[in-house]
Chain A
Amino acid sequence: QQKCPVLQMKSVSEKTLRILTVVIEGMRHWSQFKNKAPMLFELFATLDSAVTDGKYSAKHFLMRTGRDVVSCVFFENDHELPKIFRGLVHRCMGNYDRQSDTFTCVSVRLASRYEQKNSQEAIRASDEEMRQVVQSLSEI
């Protein structure tokens, strides 16, 4: 009887939100499992366009990692998009929509040099974790 809550927890844990540190390619890939494993993405990428205004207080811009570029949108709901700079590396947090191939950011700021440098390890850990998750999904 004592084991009951433990088992419950395990099933809950697999469905809880993960925050993955990714490059654009990884984000496009892992997002196909979004329904089975909810996820948000932390992306360190270079601003590759001007920031333009859109409908519903949206800001549009492009972010690049390596050769991949993704179009991003930020809605100024409760806070404004801070000043971001073309050509510099920023840290974006958000949700990737596969259908429209859009990264909806909720938090964007300049990334420090240390953060950029050290993000490689987080990307590796996130990829490793997701490989295992995907493997366990296919076993079920």
Chain B
Amino acid sequence: MAFNASVRNFIPISELHPNTTQAKVVGVVIGKTDARGFPDRKNLGSERFTFGFTIKDSPDHSINVSSWGSEEYIIGLCGSFRTGDCVVIENPLVTPKDPEKEERFCPATPSFYRLLMTETHSQIRLCADVEEENRLLPLLHVPVKDPRDFYTLGDINANGQSLDGFINILAAVRSTGEQKFFTTSDGRKGQRMEVKLFDDTVNSFPLVCWDRETIQFMQSLTPKETVLFISDARVKFDTFRNGMTATATTKTIITINPDTPEANQLFNFAKEFSESGALDETDNQSGDDIPLDSITDVLTVSQLRSKTQDTLDAFYAITYAFISALPLDTPSKVVRNRCARCRVPVAEDVMVCTSFSCAGQGQELEMFSGFDLLLDISDHTGTLQSCYLSGTVAEKTLGCTAEEYVNLSEVGQTALKWRFLLERCKIYLKVQPAPKFRSGWRISILSCSLADSVEVKQSLETEAL
């Protein structure tokens, strides 16, 4: 039978030994690094390339694989499969681990050995055996560390600066940020993406990813419906944000929706919490989410005003205007506490949620805080007062979370204010009818960033036509 034949052919990771020859190993890729180049010491001026990955073939066994070679070979090999694929490795070299290097740069594995792939002898291909795949794929949901050995986000924040090193985290994905590209001082290209995590203790916690591979992997996840067991995440105190952050390094293995009771419980919480609208509302208080690049109308303040007179429908627009009022030095006007159950704003000194519709009425209040601020925007044609800037849009604009903002010193808060106050910004707006408001309209900011002067000039030229 084909199934038996394949089982016979593959050597289990647990039985690999330096004397093994002609080995054929199958496993599911649970982690993978980007291809990197290093100056070749033997051959000055040229570079050697390498990348590594980790495979697993049973709940308890995994092994690291690495490959060195020419740029062409490594880039090709590295691009031929991704995390989550099942691969067959033929003829690798089984060598003992270099304890020091493995410890520092590679994921922890129970095996004493590692596999080396060489260009001349070894081969790797995707596993085409469906039955083998069916056996291997569930392993993707088995954490590589003790599933009960994790920190909640609250634990991490509570420990603060004293926690500096590698730990395991169990948390849900709240949102994935934008991928940003940069060039380092030595001319290498890099990228960075920030994922926001949450759990039942903390509303938003940053996980920073640097590897293209990790970024792609994270981008494929569904926010608010994915729980991650992040083993060996690097946590440290970020003095710029004045808060704790986690980073995915080459040691880190991320397990999606782990098959453990704790993860299941968190998954249910995350689902309920996001279905209650709790996360949406902070993400985007104006309701539906339309992609920013679909907004193309550029209007001045007075054009925006006259448009509200011409229509009774909600509309979107871009305006290049100055922020003329921004209460960032008055925390009480910037951050609002809400009941974690029903999202109704609550006063800090009240110990229960006073909303009649709240499911948690009478129970002890659980709060979380988020940005909720009103600002004025002005240009040469006038001012729009009380525009809403809240939730993640505010976080993105200001570059910090509400918690981080509250922890800023007074000087820090003022400095943040002056980064935007009276500066010309490119502001994406949603304007919707709101009979309760004095103006008759509710104006929400969907995105706000310092404007590019060339774009400002072009917008003013078009206005003149």
Docked complex Cα distance between A21 and B378 (Å):
12
Is the C-beta of A13 less than 8 angstroms from some C-beta in chain B? yes
Contacts of A129 in B (CB 8 A): 380-381
Interface of A is mostly: helix
Q: Determine if B409 is an interface residue (Cβ-Cβ < 8 Å).
A: no
**Interface magnitude class on chain A:** 35 or more
Please determine whether A19 and B457 come into contact, CB atoms closer than 8 angstroms.
no
Which chain B positions have C-beta within 8 A of A14?
382
A56 cross-chain contacts in B, Cβ below 8 A? none
In the bound complex, how far is the Cα of B381 from the Cα of A130, in angstroms? 8
Report A33-77 CB contacts with B as 1/0, cut-off 8 Å: 000000010100000000000000000000000000000000000
| Interface residue count on the B side (C-beta < 8 Å) | 33
Partner of A17 from B305, B382, B440, B460 at Cβ < 8 Å:
B382
Partner of A121, one of B378, B382, B421, B457: B457
Check A6 against B309 for contact (C-beta < 8 Å): yes
C-alpha gap A9/B440 in the complex (Å): 9
A18 touches B453 (CB 8 A): no
Q: Does B219 make an interface contact (CB < 8 A)? A: no
Contact of B464 (CB < 8 Å), options: A114, A115, A128? A128
A112 vs B456: C-alpha distance in the bound complex, in angstroms? Answer: 14
Which of A9, A12, A126 contacts B309, CB < 8 Å? A9
Question: A135 within 8 Å of B by Cβ?
Answer: no
Q: Which residues of A contact B456 (CB under 8 A)?
A: 118, 121-122
Chain A proximity mask over B268-310: 1 for CB below 8 Å, otherwise 0? 0000000000000000000000000000000001100100110
Report if A78 contacts B (CB, 8 A). yes
Least CB distance, A65 to chain B, in whole angstroms: 17
Q: Which residue of A18, A93, A107 contacts B379 across the interface (Cβ within 8 Å)?
A: A18
With the chains together, A126 CA to B320 CA distance in Å?
13
Task: Tell me how far the C-beta of A38 lies from the nearest C-beta in chain B, rounded to whole angstroms.
Answer: 9
A-B contact pairs, 30 of them (CB 8 A): A5-B440, A9-B305, A9-B308, A10-B305, A13-B302, A16-B301, A16-B382, A18-B379, A18-B383, A19-B324, A19-B379, A19-B380, A19-B422, A20-B380, A21-B380, A42-B422, A79-B418, A93-B322, A93-B422, A118-B453, A121-B461, A122-B380, A122-B456, A122-B457, A122-B460, A125-B463, A126-B380, A129-B380, A129-B381, A130-B380
